[in-house]
């Protein structure tokens, strides 16, 4: 069995998410802040940065994940990022809103988000050192 790069989910800090990640498979971690099971949506947060997560593809009823009722429980989600433009009634400019369409979501009580974020930062720093620098040719 070969590893397919299409199945790779890059670990990304919630605070680093931008529309650049749209339609890419990513892995994020954060604390559960709110849950709307009627609409299969949750909000997770890390370092005061919230992320809306659609859990309709990975949650089968209320009984399947009792931890969804526990605020601040740590979760890891893998899915595809979507960017939608939301317009508020009093605002004429659309606001780009990021939504993760989760394929998998799991509770991770033992995950230290500071260590998670430090590992991502170290990986990004090492990756940037390995990337070839562009040389201006004259």
- The domain segmentation of the chain, as residue ranges, is 5-120
Residue 91 pLDDT: 67
Beta bridge partners of 53: 42, 100
Residue 134 pLDDT: 52
Residue 89 pLDDT: 75
DSSP string, 50-84: EEEEE-TTT--SGGG-GGGGSTT-EEEEEEEEEEE
Residue 53 pLDDT: 96
Phi then psi dihedrals of residue 95, to 5 deg:
-110, 120
Residue 61 pLDDT: 57
Other Cβ atoms closer than 10 A to 124 = 15
The class that CATH gives domain 5-120 is mainly beta
Token digits of residue 25 = 């498979």
Nearest to 99 by CA among 44, 37, 32: 44
Per-residue confidence in pLDDT tens, the chain, 138 aa: 345 556 789 999 999 999 999 999 999 999 999 999 889 999 999 999 999 999 999 876 555 677 888 889 999 999 999 999 887 777 677 777 999 999 999 999 999 999 999 999 999 999 888 877 655 544
CA distances from 74 to 2, 82, 127 (A): 31, 22, 27
Residue 78: left if φ>0, alpha if ψ -120 to 50, beta else—which one?
beta
Residue pair 125/92 in contact (Cβ under 8 Å)? The answer is no
Other Cβ atoms closer than 10 A to 32 = 21
For residue 84, give every residue at least 6 positions away whose Cβ sits within 8 Å of its Cβ, in sequence order, or none: 96, 97, 99
């Amino acid at each position: 069995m070969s590893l397919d790069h299409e199945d790779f989910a890059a670990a990304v800090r919630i605070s680093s998410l931008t529309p650049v990640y749209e339609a890419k498979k990513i892995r994020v971690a954060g604390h559960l802040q709110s849950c709307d099971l009627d609409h299969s949506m949750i909000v997770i947060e890390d370092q005061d940065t919230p992320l809306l997560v659609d859990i309709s593809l990975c949650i089968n009823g209320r009984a399947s994940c009792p931890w969804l009722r526990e605020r601040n429980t740590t979760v890891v989600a893998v899915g595809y990022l979507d960017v939608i433009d939301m317009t508020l009634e009093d605002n004429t400019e659309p606001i780009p809103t990021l939504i993760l369409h989760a394929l998998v979501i799991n509770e991770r009580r033992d995950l230290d988000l500071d260590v998670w974020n430090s590992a991502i930062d170290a990986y990004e720093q090492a990756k940037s050192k390995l990337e070839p620098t562009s040389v201006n040719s004259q």
